[in-house]
Amino acid sequence: MHSTTKMPSAWEEAWDTGINTGIRTVSGISGSAALSYATPADMLPSGTTIKISYTPRADGGGLQSDKGSSAAAGGENQSGMDINIVAAPVDGMSVFAGYSEIDRIRVQNLEQGTYGFTYAAGPVSFGAQKSYLSYERGVESVTTNYYENLNWAVAFNVNDNLSISYAEYESEEHLGTTGGQTAETDSIQLAYNLGGATLKVAETETDNARYSDGGNTSGTTIALSLAF
C-alpha cells in the first residue's frame, strides 16, 4: 500500500517532522509479515508493475519483532490484503494507485485507497496524492466514518549539497451525517550535506491538530546525522 512517503521532500513528510499532528494516513498491511507477488518490470507496458500482498494477521510488525506475537491479546485486526499499481507513462513521471482491506473482529473492516503521481524534471520534483480510510460505519453521527486526505509537495535540489521542499497535507474527518474537523499541516524543509554530516531542518505548522477545533501547533525540528 502506497503511503504518503511517495511525495518528494528534502527530509520527511509534512506530518512526520516531530510535531504531533494526529493526522490519519494510509499504510495498508505495511509492517506485517506477508506473502507478496510482483509482476516483472518488463512484463507490462509503460513500465507498469502490479504487486499483491496478503497477511493472515495485520499486526503492523508485531509478528516480525524479537519474541513478538501475531497480535496483542484482544487485537481487532485479522487478515489483510494490499494491491498496488505503479506505472511510468513518460520519462520522469510515476503514477500509482493502491487499495487495502483489513478484516477486523468486533468492529467494522478497514478499507484504504490512494492514487497520485510524482514528476521530476531536472532539479525540480513535485507530486500530488489523494487517499481514503473507511471504517464502514454507515450513518453513525459521533464516530469517524472515514477520512479523506489530499497532499502535495514540491522539492528543489539547489546543488549537490542543498535541497529544499514545501509540502501541504489536508485530512478531512467525516462523522457519518454530521461532518467533522479538517486537520491541515504544512512544512518547509531543507537538507544540507557537509561531507560526512547532514543537517536537516523542518518548520511545520498544523491547524486543528488531532482533528480538534482550534488545536493549532507549530514547531521547528533540527537534526544532524553523522557518517563515520
Q: Domain with 12 in it: what CATH number? A: 2.40.160.10
pLDDT at residue 60 in the model? 67
Is residue 47 a part of any domain in this protein? Answer: no
CA proximity to 29, closest of 6, 59, 66: 59
Task: Mean pLDDT check: name the lowest of 65-69, 182-186, 189-193.
Answer: 65-69
**Stretch 45-57: mean pLDDT:** 94
Is residue 43 a part of any domain in this protein? Answer: no
Place of cell 496478503: 54
Does the pLDDT of residue 62 top 70, yes or no?
no
Pair 173, 209: CB distance under 8 Å: no
Is residue 182 a part of any domain in this protein? Answer: yes
CA proximity to 136, closest of 125, 144, 148, 124: 144
pLDDT band (50, 70, 90) for residue 150: very high
pLDDT at residue 194 in the model? 87
Is residue 126 a part of any domain in this protein? Answer: yes
Range of the domain at 109: 4-25+86-226
Pair 117, 95: CB distance under 8 Å: yes
Does the pLDDT of residue 73 top 50, yes or no?
no
Q: What is the CA radius of gyration of the chain?
A: 19
Does the pLDDT of residue 49 top 70, yes or no?
yes
Is residue 141 a part of any domain in this protein? Answer: yes
**Stretch 12-25: mean pLDDT:** 88
Is residue 45 a part of any domain in this protein? Answer: no
- Write phi, then psi, for 225 (nearest 5 degrees): -110, 140
| Residue 123 DSSP one-character state | T
Overall domain count for the chain: 1
- Average pLDDT, rounded, for the chain: 87
CA proximity to 60, closest of 78, 86, 85: 78
pLDDT at residue 140 in the model? 44
Burial code of 25-54, b = ≥16 C-beta within 10 A, e = fewer?
bbbbbbbbbbeeeeeeeeeeeeeebebebb
Alpha carbon separation from 186 to 104, 192, 206, 210 (Å, rounded): 33, 20, 7, 15
pLDDT at residue 137 in the model? 53
**Stretch 87-109: mean pLDDT:** 91
Q: What is the pTM of this model?
A: 0.85
Is residue 32 a part of any domain in this protein? Answer: no
**Stretch 3-13: mean pLDDT:** 80
pLDDT at residue 76 in the model? 81
Is residue 79 a part of any domain in this protein? Answer: no
Tell me which of 74 and 137 has the higher pLDDT: 137
pLDDT band (50, 70, 90) for residue 4: very low
pLDDT at residue 72 in the model? 46
